[in-house]
Structure 1
Amino acid sequence: MQKIWICGAGGRVGRQMARLLDKKPVELLLTDIDSVDITNSKEVMEYAGINRPHVIVNCAGLTDVRMCEAEPERAFLVNALGPRNLSVAARVVKARLVQLSTDDVFGGGGQVPYTEFDSPSPETVYGKSKLAGENFIREFCNRHIIIRSSWIFGDKSLYLESILKLASEGKTVKAAVDQIASPTGAAGLAEKVKELMEYGEDGLYHVTGQGFCTRYEFAKEVVRLSGYSAKVEPVEAIRDAYTAMRPSYSVLDNMMLRMSSVDLLPDWKVMLKEYMEQRAAKKQGRM
């Protein structure tokens, strides 16, 4: 039976991956920092050596951009050395490594969607540390898939939940009008990660919801779908405390998916509507 090790199994995408794969005839190895610390090379190697996974899916990462700026060594430890340790372990046990990365590897100065063939130029510690992780994987692991995505929403989405909290209290939601990307549902992303893991060729893929929007447009849609009547105010990114340091433009072109004849994810509005309906059903005890 194939063994699949999911690191960061308690996160947004990790939880969805575990849910999907639990229905498959595979043995799931689910870990988080409390069971295997990917920044500890000895722990990683011992776990991989004992369990001998066929595939390692790394959903772990330090994604708080402000924390990354405040603690750069911690950011590089988790986002760069963690993937390095997993890469070395994957090579030793002959496993395939699937790494989740980010649109923040691009600096945001562009005006057209970035393809997998554009050169990254991150400006934040978060983006630089994630790119370093990608590079370690390319250097140490010959069987790998790197998947970049953007504005991932789902369970445990701090940004989306912050919007809903303000809206539920009748407070004004301030959202950046000068940041543009493609929101992506964690459930849809997990489906595509699973598909690429099972049938895709090795390499780099951009996987996002179709279409794009500003943070302001995203927040307005969240509030509309929630049924709250809160006001959403467009502001400059510097006044949006949750996203001030993110790229101004980081729309990802899913070119490799198209060229590989892999179906694209739905439009971001479709995925957001589906998530909000599921979230409401859970709160009402219907799921």
Structure 2
Amino acid sequence: MKVLITGANGQLGREIAKQYKEIKEIDLILAGRSDLDITKVNEVYSFVNKNKPDVIINCAAFTAVDKCETEIDMAYKINTIGPKNLAIAANEIGAEIVQVSTDYVFDGNMHQSLTEFDEVNPQTVYGKTKLEGEKLVRSFNPKHYIVRTAWLYGDGNNFVKTMLNLSETHKTLKVVNDQTGTPTSTVDLARVIIKLVEDKNYGLFHCTCKGQCTWYEFTKEIFRIKGIDTEVLPCTTDQFPRPAKRPEYSVLRNYMLELTTGDITRTWQEAISEYLK
């Protein structure tokens, strides 16, 4: 099987490639931004027709949530038009497509774990562009896997590394304690994506680690595991105003995984413990 990974230099792209490399019968095509501009339709068609992958896993995205509020055109190009181009190109050669999406498609006001059947209501440009990307992938390629995730960390820049770096220069840190979600390891997400493709289990899926916490609680656990004595103080979102509204509660339930292939993700505590060790 031939697998094309776009956004191959990002956290998730690297992890999927790493896990696929352990499967000998997989032929990988790794495409970073310099190899393939997914926003350019002719470039996408040409690249896909030349390489003829069986599966395209789109890990390319504009994930700078605050920047999306001002760079609106770029957000739509990368998060909406790019997936559309890939979906059409894949469909023309009979290939499948995996589109990675986000908890930001919800408004964060429900205060209960969200399934794939709950109503979406994005409040940010990032959330809106990712939702439209989902819709276009569904429309243009029936062989699709749309996988929503949240609070992702892996090999690259992420919240975990930011907190560890800050702990080296700060005796005290204030961290938001009124946003609740689920920290998710790229290891768990990659495993699920690979299994969905293996099973040809098309459709819409949520995939995060199990459980929930606030950013404050997550930071406390990171420092506990690492034995860091920097004091962590809880604060409110209002104390750190940002251009893009953050979901107050965006815990995703992996309901479709539970009902179909089975949920193979770990608890967020298990995953972060392994990551830090």
TM-score bin, normalised by smaller chain? over 0.9
1:3 corresponds to: 2
Rounded to whole Å, the distance in 2 between the matches of 1:113 and 1:157 is 27
1:274 corresponds to: 274
CA drift of 1:253 comes to 1.0
SS at match of 1:201: coil
Report the CA distance shift for 1:39/1:244 in structure 2 as closer, same or farther (over 3 A): closer
2:21 corresponds to: 22
Rounded to whole Å, the distance in 1 between the matches of 2:257 and 2:200 is 9
Q: Deviations over 1:229-264 (max 9, x none)?
A: 101111112334789732111000111011104233
TM-score, length-scaled by structure 2: 0.96
Rounded to whole Å, the distance in 2 between the matches of 1:151 and 1:37 is 26
1:122 corresponds to: 122
- Alignment length (residue pairs): 276
SS at match of 2:210: coil
Q: Which amino acid is the alignment partner of residue 64 of structure 2?
A: D
Report the CA distance shift for 1:229/1:244 in structure 2 as closer, same or farther (over 3 A): farther
Percent identity over paired residues: 39
Q: Which amino acid is the alignment partner of residue 249 of structure 2?
A: Y
Report the CA distance shift for 1:242/1:59 in structure 2 as closer, same or farther (over 3 A): farther
Rounded to whole Å, the distance in 1 between the matches of 2:114 and 2:247 is 12
Q: Tell me if the contact between 1:238 and 1:244 (Cα under 8 Å) persists in the aligned partners.
A: no
Which structure 1 residue ranges, 5 or more long, are not aligned?
Answer: 278-287
2:251 corresponds to: 251
SS at match of 2:69: helix
CA drift of 1:173 comes to 2.2
Q: Which residues of 2 match residues 186-225 of structure 1 at below 5 A?
A: 186-225=186-225
Residue 143 (structure 2) pairs with residue 131 (structure 1)? no
Residues 234-243 or 89-98, more deviating: 234-243
Q: Which amino acid is the alignment partner of residue 59 of structure 2?
A: C
TM-score, length-scaled by structure 1: 0.93
SS at match of 2:12: helix
CA drift of 1:190 comes to 0.7
Q: Which residues of 2 match residues 1-287 of structure 1 at below 5 A?
A: 2-24=1-23, 25-240=25-240, 245-277=245-277
RMSD over aligned CA atoms reads: 1.4
Which structure 2 residue ranges, 5 or more long, are not aligned?
Answer: none
Rounded to whole Å, the distance in 2 between the matches of 1:88 and 1:200 is 19
Rounded to whole Å, the distance in 2 between the matches of 1:4 and 1:242 is 38
Rounded to whole Å, the distance in 1 between the matches of 2:244 and 2:73 is 21
Rounded to whole Å, the distance in 1 between the matches of 2:227 and 2:169 is 13
SS at match of 1:173: strand
Rounded to whole Å, the distance in 1 between the matches of 2:243 and 2:57 is 27
Q: Tell me if the contact between 1:106 and 1:122 (Cα under 8 Å) persists in the aligned partners.
A: yes
Q: Which amino acid is the alignment partner of residue 81 of structure 1?
A: I
Q: Tell me if the contact between 1:170 and 1:229 (Cα under 8 Å) persists in the aligned partners.
A: no
Rounded to whole Å, the distance in 1 between the matches of 2:275 and 2:70 is 32
SS at match of 2:205: strand
